Amino acid sequence: MHLTTRQLFISQVVLLAGSALPALAASENVSLAYIARLYSMGSSTSGKKVVMKNKWNTIEVETNSRRAWINGIMVWLHHPCRKSGSGWAIREVDFKKGIDPIMRAYAHVPTRTPRLVMLDPGHGGKDAGAVSPRKVYEKLAVLSIAKRVKAHLEAKQVTVQLTRSSDTFIPLRQRSEIAAKAGADLFVSIHADGADDSSANGVETFVMTAAGCDSSNHYGQGGDKSPGRGNQYDAANAVLGFSIQSNLIKTSKRSDRGLRRARFSVLKHAPCPGALVECGFLTNPEEEALMIDANYRETVARGISNGILGYITFVNRARK
Ligand SMILES: [Zn+2]
């Protein structure tokens, strides 16, 4: 595989020099002051946000909220940022499985170059997925996008398989089994959203929720919070998910709903680092029109493939 850094280093995250992580206090809180020190960032407050910044990167954390932004891209935390002593703190799980993997990807990704990427166009056959008012079917739109992502990746000498390449029904559990049997190194499921509220819009990328924590999807919480197979790759999942979301925002210019967490079956049972991307809302008139447009599908496919290639670049850098 010949991948030039200039072509592939799309993510705006600039890697920090590889210094060992100072030991954390036993407390399960990590203060924002500690994080600012660790990344050599200055810290200030702007409205409800604590803004930490150095020459290359910016981390913004909204106080008493689960929302944070890294270089302008929204990242949902598992727990809200809370007051701690005279400052603010996030939970250790959010630092170790969210912020730090994104900031120092090279320290968190597996060092084996991904040889096979499994793309998973959502739904199919009797399962249409979301259906727009003008009868645009999610199952068909995402198949079209997945085939375009495949073409982009293959042009960069990345081997790609699809869980389905036609309009056929595949049960959810079978999708992760297909990836496992093929020996996939990355798994990316591609979907389009639907909501009762037609004003809902934008793109979002999900990765597996950390064990014991709450998800950040709009279907509510509840259910089994025990670890799944996909939790083995928590940190790498965050690297992949952030790379896809930031590249997709850059190409699509749609509103950023953030890197979120959910225990979707395909993420819970993923045999390798995985993410699930929602490319827009079929129930929103503007995005419905975009999903019909081959140019938008191509733009979305370029964003997703750039995100995957960005992850591969991090792996190749981690090996050096
Ligand atoms: Zn779907």
Does residue 137 sit in the same domain as residue 97? no
- Measured in Å, residue 192 CA sits from the centre of ligand 1 at 6
Does residue 37 sit in the same domain as residue 185? no
Q: Which of 285, 278, 283 is nearest to 303 (CA)?
A: 278
Q: How far apart are CA 276 and CA 274, in angstroms?
A: 7
Residues 113-131, buried b or exposed e (16+ Cβ, 10 A)? ebebbbbbbbbbeeeebbe
Assess if residue 133 is contained within a domain.
yes
- Measured in Å, residue 140 CA sits from the centre of ligand 1 at 11
Q: What is the pLDDT of residues 2-48, one digit of tens each?
A: 433 333 333 334 444 444 555 554 458 999 999 999 999 999 999 99
- Measured in Å, residue 53 CA sits from the centre of ligand 1 at 36
Segments in the chain forming alpha helices (H): 5-8, 32-38, 92-94, 100-103, 138-155, 172-182, 234-252, 265-268, 285-292, 294-318
Tell whether the model's pLDDT for residue 297 goes beyond 80.
yes
The count of domains in the chain is 2
Contact 217, 261 (CB under 8 A): yes
- Measured in Å, residue 187 CA sits from the centre of ligand 1 at 15
Assess if residue 16 is contained within a domain.
no
CATH at 250: 3.40.630.40
| Mean pLDDT, range 174-189, rounded to an integer | 98
Assess if residue 252 is contained within a domain.
yes
Assess if residue 192 is contained within a domain.
yes
**Main-chain dihedrals φ then ψ at residue 218, nearest 5 degrees:** -100, 15
Does residue 261 sit in the same domain as residue 128? yes
- Measured in Å, residue 277 CA sits from the centre of ligand 1 at 9
Tell whether the model's pLDDT for residue 80 goes beyond 90.
yes
- Measured in Å, residue 129 CA sits from the centre of ligand 1 at 5
CATH at 99: 3.30.457.10
pLDDT of 48 reads: 97
End-to-end C-alpha distance for the chain, whole angstroms: 16
Q: How far apart are CA 266 and CA 180, in angstroms?
A: 11
Does residue 226 sit in the same domain as residue 297? yes
Does residue 99 sit in the same domain as residue 141? no
Does residue 97 sit in the same domain as residue 120? no
- Measured in Å, residue 146 CA sits from the centre of ligand 1 at 13
Assess if residue 239 is contained within a domain.
yes
Does residue 234 sit in the same domain as residue 126? yes
pLDDT of 220 reads: 53
pLDDT of 9 reads: 36
- Measured in Å, residue 123 CA sits from the centre of ligand 1 at 6
- Measured in Å, residue 189 CA sits from the centre of ligand 1 at 9
The percent of residues above 90 in pLDDT, for the chain, comes to: 85
- Measured in Å, residue 124 CA sits from the centre of ligand 1 at 10
- Measured in Å, residue 196 CA sits from the centre of ligand 1 at 15
- Measured in Å, residue 131 CA sits from the centre of ligand 1 at 10
Q: Which of 225, 216, 266, 261 is nearest to 242 (CA)?
A: 261
Tokens of 188: 């990316």
pLDDT band at 319 (very low <50, low <70, confident <90, very high): confident
Does residue 92 sit in the same domain as residue 209? no
Q: What is the pLDDT of residues 184-237, one digit of tens each?
A: 999 999 999 999 999 999 999 999 999 999 898 865 556 788 899 999 999 999
Which structural domain range is residue 301 located in?
Answer: 116-318
Assess if residue 181 is contained within a domain.
yes
3-state SS assignment for residue 163: coil
